[in-house]
Amino acid sequence: MQWAGLIASGAAVLDVAAGGGRHSRFLAGRGHKVTAVDRDISAIAADPDIESIQADLEDGSPWPLAGRRFGAIVVTNYLHRPLFPRLIDSLEAGGVLLYETFMEGNERFGRPTNPDFLLKEGELLDVVRGRFAVTAYEARLISEPKMAMVQRIAARLSR
Ligand SMILES: C[S@@+](CC[C@H](N)C(=O)[O-])C[C@H]1O[C@@H](n2cnc3c(N)ncnc32)[C@H](O)[C@@H]1O
């Protein structure tokens, strides 16, 4: 919500691992054409304001959005490192990446504890380095909705 204003008016948005669709709905409400992808789209499939695509993003299937580009990509509380190049390739020049998920140190507070699902120190900065202009980056302890260690980035793909 804090960085939604970075997204160009009317731009198409991709919500990856959209889950219940909280970000998809929020961004559709701001006038964006939202595509949501998740292996479980039961919470969003009936929403006429969201294009929902059911896909397992980790089973080796082809990328379900091949050939499509978006003005913004949102990923929250989800990490599958092999997708990073796909996400960047799916952004239009000038497109915005909004990414937030758990990082190392979260083990102290609860799940996820598996290192596969925890960003390493500075990892989101490494993902965008050299290709994006970073508007905001945080790596810190949060207390709401629960105690957790998270990284957050808002960055724009250079033209
Ligand atoms: C913790 S939820 C986050 C949902 C949403 N981004 C949010 O923050 O409210 C993680 C989501 O990742 C999805 N997910 C997990 N593994 C997946 C996979 N292999 N392919 C596609 N989606 C997956 C789950 O179905 C779930 O909706």
Q: Retrieve residue 133's tokens.
A: 């202009």
**Is there an atom of ligand 1 within 6 Å of 111 CB?**
no
Close Cβ partners of 61 (under 8 Å, ≥ 6 residues apart): 55
Closest atom of ligand 1 to 22 CA is 9
Give the closest residue to 122 by CA, choosing from 153, 143, 159: 153
pTM: 0.98
In the predicted model, is pLDDT for residue 159 greater than 90? no
**Is there an atom of ligand 1 within 6 Å of 40 CB?**
yes
**Is there an atom of ligand 1 within 6 Å of 78 CB?**
yes
The predicted pLDDT at position 8 comes to 98
In the predicted model, is pLDDT for residue 111 greater than 90? yes
| Sheet hosting strand 70-76, strand order edge to edge | 50-54, 33-38, 12-16, 70-76, 91-102, 148-157, 132-142
Supply the DSSP string of 87-151, one letter for each residue. HHHTEEEEEEEEEEEEBTTGGGTSS--SGGGSBPTTHHHHHHTTTEEEEEEEEEEE-SSS-EEEE
Q: What is the pLDDT of residues 23-56, one digit of tens each?
A: 999 999 999 999 999 999 999 999 999 999 999 9
**Is there an atom of ligand 1 within 6 Å of 30 CB?**
no
Closest atom of ligand 1 to 75 CA is 6
Q: What is the pLDDT of residues 49-103, one digit of tens each?
A: 999 999 999 999 999 999 999 999 999 999 999 999 999 999 999 999 999 999 9
